[in-house]
Amino acid sequence: MRILFLLLMLASPAMAVQPSEMLDDPALEARAREISKGLRCLVCRNENIDDSNADLAADIRILLRQRLVAGDTDEQVIQYMVDRYGEFVLLKPTYSASNMILWLTGPILLLLGGGMAYAFVRRKNPAPADGLSEAEKQKLDKLLNS
């Protein structure tokens, strides 16, 4: 059983980029690899397209290399991918007002919920009775003990 597990671990590819996808120009291939490290596989989630074996990731790798061969800059290639697949394709999304709203909504709602829970608990347990007369304290003790 251990041997089978070891063989399966050794059989997994280190990189998913197929030799047929690689560019002949080493400089362009290095640029493609660098760009693909920042692009998310839309099927695998949180895995870059360079490491993914998904068919869609292979299509995006090929498209990326086609854009580089066509003469696009790195920024133009990334913008093309964002225009085509949305900002979700970026492993590191850009900073914008809409993204900040998404990032801050969770913590703000958590704080609001905590504040509401605190206020609810405080209303259920009134503050200790200070400033009561001795007769009122006895009456209160009688009510609480019965």
What DSSP letter does each residue of 92-104 carry, written as one string? SPPP-HHHHHHHH
Question: What is the rounded distance in angstroms from the CA atom of residue 82 to the CA atom of residue 130?
Answer: 64
Residue 12, pLDDT score: 46
CATH second-level architecture of 2-89? Orthogonal Bundle (1.10)
Q: Which residues pair with 48 in a beta bridge?
A: 40
Inter-residue contact 15 to 51 (CB < 8 Å): yes
Residues 60-93: pLDDT tens digits? 999 999 999 999 999 999 999 999 988 888 888 7
27-56 pLDDT tens trace: 888 898 899 999 988 888 788 888 888 888
| Helix 26-36, helix 74-85: angle, nearest 10 | 40
Dist CA 42 CA 3 (whole Å): 33
Nearest to 35 by CA among 5, 78, 72: 78
Instruction: State residue 117's pLDDT score.
Output: 93
Per-residue model confidence as pLDDT tens digits over 104-131: 899 999 999 999 999 888 877 665 656 7
